[in-house]
Structure 1
Amino acid sequence: MSTKNSYQLADIGRHNPIFSQIRSTVETAFYGNNMHQVADVTDAYHRATKDPGTVITDLPIYRATDLGLPADAKMLIANTGKVVGRTAQARRILGNPGVSEADMAGRLRQAIFDSAHQDFIKTDVLVGLDEDFIVRAHLAIPDGFANNLLSYMLNFQPITAAYQAMFERSVAYPEGDIYIYADPTYHDPDYPDGLAIFDPQHNTAAILGMPYFGELKKSTLTLAWSIAHRHGFVACHGGLKAFHFKDKQDQVFAMFGLSGSGKSTLTHAKHGYKYDITVLHDDAFVINRQNGSSVALEPSYFDKTNDYPMTSDETKYFMTIQNVGVTLDDQGRKVLVTEDLRNGNGRTIKSRYASTNRVDKEDAPINAIFW
């Protein structure tokens, strides 16, 4: 299924369930003179290398050109301040008790107005990696936060010719594209810890006063999962892998649990290489309720770095890294100090090549669930 970002004139207005006060406020901001489109992943990378807070390591990104990056691309680090994780108390979800759309819309209008003289950068990605489920998402964020925009493009699927063709082949649903407006520099006086406004019925969110990349990733997934739920899919935050056998039915396992409980570890476990295993994803997928097939929502992995010292083979697949330390090795190279030494919840966007047995769709239904 696919979403829409343009309409017949007769379809625009209050009568169309795609539109709402919050959605109109956010989408309008994307067309301002202060908005600058980032052309592709290479453009985003070059912008990120120029951000004042960026640390350009001496560690090459594995298979950089296959990821749309320059051949000589290096792993980039962007660190935040006191807050290094998501902020639950900042979330205000329309439809929940006590959340006023008029109040949230007013606060959002003020945030956008106050930032109108600030340059923003924006990009488009796809969420969902098969024509069975593939939706388009747009992100706008102030210039100076290009690391977050680059991580967004690497975490989700940049729009290449092949994926655009997949998107156009998919069945169109009466849903608008996802829009995420982010401004880490704006602080509403009534919300000192930040404000995250969600309008899930209209595929829109605004993330204000929070620079942590995970807010952008999870807000996009939240809206994509909402779309999936409305159209015959089960939204899943977990891992899925399949064991393939020549003499019996494939076994498809799904792993669910709280953050840090081992979903990724179990999903990626090789089990001594005794089995033919394929991995769908370790964090986000949807299940088709009609036929039981599953689709991954992201090509990459947003992984904790606490288990990966520089001697770990996993660091080979890092692309961007957040909230970790840097030091010089015995060759004078800038390398990572991980294991949550600087702070808790160090994170990396790890490429799909970390899984040699990766698939984007699993046709067989799940027959075992682990919590």
Structure 2
Amino acid sequence: MSTKAYYPIHEIGKDKPGFSATRSIIETPFYGNNVVKVNTLREAYELALNSPGTIVTDMPVYRGEEFGLDREAKVLLFNDGAISGRYAAARRIAGEPGVDCKALDRVIMDAVYETRWKTMYHAEVYVGLDSEFMAKAHLLIPEGEENILYNWMLNFQYMSDEYVRMYHGSKPIGEGKEPDIYLFSDPQWNGSDRPGVDLSCLSDPKCLCYFNTEQNCAAILGMRYFGEHKKGTLTMAWALANRNGYASCHGGQKKYTLNDGTSYVASVFGLSGSGKSTLTHAKHGGKYGVTVLHDDAFVINTDTCASVALEPTYFDKTQDYPTGCEDNKYLLTVQNCACTLDEHGKIQLVTEDIRNGNGRAIKSKIWSPNRVDKIEEPVNAIFWIMKDPTLPPVVKLKGASLASVMGATLATKRSSAERLAAGADPNALVVVPYANSFRTYPLANDYEKFKKLVEEKNVDCYIVNTGEFMGKKVQPKDTLGILEAIVDGTGEFKQWGPFSDIEILEWEGFVPDLDDEYYREQLKARMKERVSFVEKTAVLKEGYDKLPEDALAAIQKVVFELK
């Protein structure tokens, strides 16, 4: 599927698909006489290479000529200053209660005006790697931000001959009513004191991430961190997918091929540090043929249950790969990281987070030799990865409503480094629905999509706890062993205590004792937190994220059965 870039005259105008106030403000500057089109990855590399402040390491880009770079290309390092992470408080989403779109539009209009004094770069990529789902995305960004431009083109699919042919051979998304994605960015923006521009609509007068996903457009102002641009683009693609019959997934997916030739497709959803990427890329000692779709971003067709990856490369934490690690030969670019000279006088990366937290790198698609862009086989199972100390290493959810609401209340334990308010429960869970903090549409949309997969498409659903179970750490070998038992069909699940819709695979060393009053009370407390979260969706943000009654009933039933 493809998005729409060109309009016949009779399709242009007010109240027609692809035309709105915000989109017109964002798209129009792409056609200014101060705009330079960047057509190839080679051009973007040269711009980044020569951008002031870029560090050209002595590390070659491995097999770079296979994806649009010259053989001599080097890994580029660029540091953003003091900010090395995303800033959630700057996000504003059109359609959410309390978001003043007219005021935000005026902020963007003024920001666009200020860029008239700058040379602006325009780049294009595809989001989605198969003709079933491909959106064309555009980025406009000022001179001086060449590294963001280059990283953006690397992170998504640059316009190679192969993908251009694929895109032109695809059918329009949404019957031709979905326009291209447009992203206007000015990291150099520093607020506005212009009369008529009211910055009170911003939480921070010098930062803004404004999304109008209904019109496939966004503006990012005053934010240099590349992750804002990566996730900002994915935010729009996920919203577009949601409108057109796909479950939008911030997770990983892999296909196991068993010795008898059958396959098993597993999707894993978890927050940063949950083990999502580890589970996605695990080879299981060669026990299976393993094919990886992606470890961060994909969509599932809720009718066919086929899945499409949205990105070719990986945006990984550098601290996971120490200097000298073999995996570092697959690095393409690095952000917010230190470097030094080796014994030969060559510039080498210091990949541990010595300079700052959250050092990042874009890693080549060929790091995972078993990568594919699409898995045709229907997904067999969904795994919600949580760090809830009251849950055993694995349980199976039988009811579709319970399966989906547990994804909507996907939880992790608070960090020991987090500063808590007086009286706050340190054992309370932190909930991020479906592990996706980038949703820009009502939560009920995701709930219904995942419920459909379980209820109508017979997709199994599990919760996997990769944290601690009542003080005992669940080791990776335990989690991988559990996955293998499920894939092989050797795991014996049985009803878990009083729960009519939950089954358990009793794993040695982690068998819960429901006769233990302390344990039972802790489990009940954590489930009540989930009930409270679902109840609050009906109230917070004027009920924008209200979940259906069957979602609340399913989780209340679990609490009731604990009595």
**TM-score, L = length of structure 1:** 0.98
Please report how far the alpha carbon of residue 249 of structure 1 lies from its aligned counterpart in structure 2 after TM superposition. 3.1
Which of the numbers 225, 235, 238 marks the counterpart of 1:225? 238
Deviation per CA, 1:290-344, whole angstroms, max 9, x where unpaired? 1100000011011111111122111011001000000011111100011111111
Give the letter for the 2:117 counterpart. Answer: H
Give the letter for the 1:125 counterpart. Answer: V
**RMSD of Structure 2 on Structure 1 (CA):** 1.1
The reply to whether residue 277 of structure 1 matches residue 290 of structure 2 is yes
Match of 2:159 in 1: 159
SS where residue 299 of structure 1 aligns? coil
Match of 1:13 in 2: 13
The reply to whether residue 182 of structure 1 matches residue 195 of structure 2 is no
Give the Cα–Cα distance (whole angstroms) in 2 for the partners of residues 72 and 114 of structure 1: 37
Please report how far the alpha carbon of residue 248 of structure 1 lies from its aligned counterpart in structure 2 after TM superposition. 5.7
Match of 1:130 in 2: 130
Give the letter for the 1:324 counterpart. Answer: C
Give the Cα–Cα distance (whole angstroms) in 1 for the partners of residues 172 and 382 of structure 2: 31
**Aligned positions of 1:189-268 closer than 5 A:** 189=192, 190=199, 191-192=204-205, 194-247=207-260, 249-268=262-281
Match of 2:350 in 1: 337
Give the Cα–Cα distance (whole angstroms) in 2 for the partners of residues 344 and 366 of structure 1: 35
Match of 2:171 in 1: 171
* Contact 1:131/1:166, CA 8 A, preserved across alignment: yes
Match of 2:432 in 1: none
Match of 1:64 in 2: 64
Please report how far the alpha carbon of residue 253 of structure 1 lies from its aligned counterpart in structure 2 after TM superposition. 1.2
Please report how far the alpha carbon of residue 2 of structure 1 lies from its aligned counterpart in structure 2 after TM superposition. 0.5
Give the Cα–Cα distance (whole angstroms) in 2 for the partners of residues 219 and 12 of structure 1: 27
Give the Cα–Cα distance (whole angstroms) in 2 for the partners of residues 255 and 214 of structure 1: 21
* Contact 1:90/1:193, CA 8 A, preserved across alignment: no
Give the letter for the 1:177 counterpart. Answer: D
* Contact 2:189/2:206, CA 8 A, preserved across alignment: no
**Aligned positions of 1:46-125 closer than 5 A:** 46-125=46-125
Give the Cα–Cα distance (whole angstroms) in 1 for the partners of residues 221 and 132 of structure 2: 33
Larger radius of gyration: 2
Which of the numbers 342, 349, 368 marks the counterpart of 2:362? 349
Give the letter for the 2:67 counterpart. Answer: L
Deviation per CA, 1:124-147, whole angstroms, max 9, x where unpaired? 000101011011000011111111
Give the Cα–Cα distance (whole angstroms) in 2 for the partners of residues 311 and 349 of structure 1: 17
Q: Percent identity?
A: 50
Give the Cα–Cα distance (whole angstroms) in 1 for the partners of residues 262 and 346 of structure 2: 50
Q: Which is further off, 11-20 or 133-142?
A: 11-20
Please report how far the alpha carbon of residue 193 of structure 1 lies from its aligned counterpart in structure 2 after TM superposition. 5.0
Give the Cα–Cα distance (whole angstroms) in 1 for the partners of residues 324 and 339 of structure 2: 15
Match of 2:507 in 1: none
* Contact 2:55/2:78, CA 8 A, preserved across alignment: yes
Match of 2:549 in 1: none
Give the letter for the 1:60 counterpart. Answer: P
Match of 1:146 in 2: 146
Deviation per CA, 1:33-70, whole angstroms, max 9, x where unpaired? 11101120001101101111100000000001111111
SS where residue 138 of structure 2 aligns? strand
Give the Cα–Cα distance (whole angstroms) in 1 for the partners of residues 234 and 259 of structure 2: 36
The reply to whether residue 361 of structure 1 matches residue 383 of structure 2 is no
Give the Cα–Cα distance (whole angstroms) in 2 for the partners of residues 267 and 193 of structure 1: 38
* Contact 1:188/1:195, CA 8 A, preserved across alignment: no
Match of 1:300 in 2: 313
SS where residue 158 of structure 1 aligns? coil
Q: Which is further off, 278-287 or 237-246?
A: 237-246
Relative contact order higher in (CA < 8 Å, ≥ 6 apart): 1
Give the letter for the 2:316 counterpart. Answer: D
| Structure 1: runs of 5 or more not aligned | none
Give the Cα–Cα distance (whole angstroms) in 2 for the partners of residues 319 and 175 of structure 1: 32
Give the Cα–Cα distance (whole angstroms) in 2 for the partners of residues 212 and 353 of structure 1: 25
Show structure 1 runs of 4+ deviating over 3 A: none
Give the Cα–Cα distance (whole angstroms) in 2 for the partners of residues 144 and 164 of structure 1: 28
Q: Which has a greater percent of helix?
A: 2
Please report how far the alpha carbon of residue 273 of structure 1 lies from its aligned counterpart in structure 2 after TM superposition. 2.1
Q: Which is further off, 264-273 or 5-14?
A: 264-273
Give the Cα–Cα distance (whole angstroms) in 1 for the partners of residues 183 and 10 of structure 2: 26
* Contact 2:323/2:352, CA 8 A, preserved across alignment: no
SS where residue 69 of structure 1 aligns? coil
Give the letter for the 2:338 counterpart. Answer: G
Report the number of matched residues: 371
SS where residue 332 of structure 1 aligns? coil
Give the Cα–Cα distance (whole angstroms) in 1 for the partners of residues 275 and 226 of structure 2: 21
The reply to whether residue 23 of structure 1 matches residue 23 of structure 2 is yes
SS where residue 319 of structure 2 aligns? coil
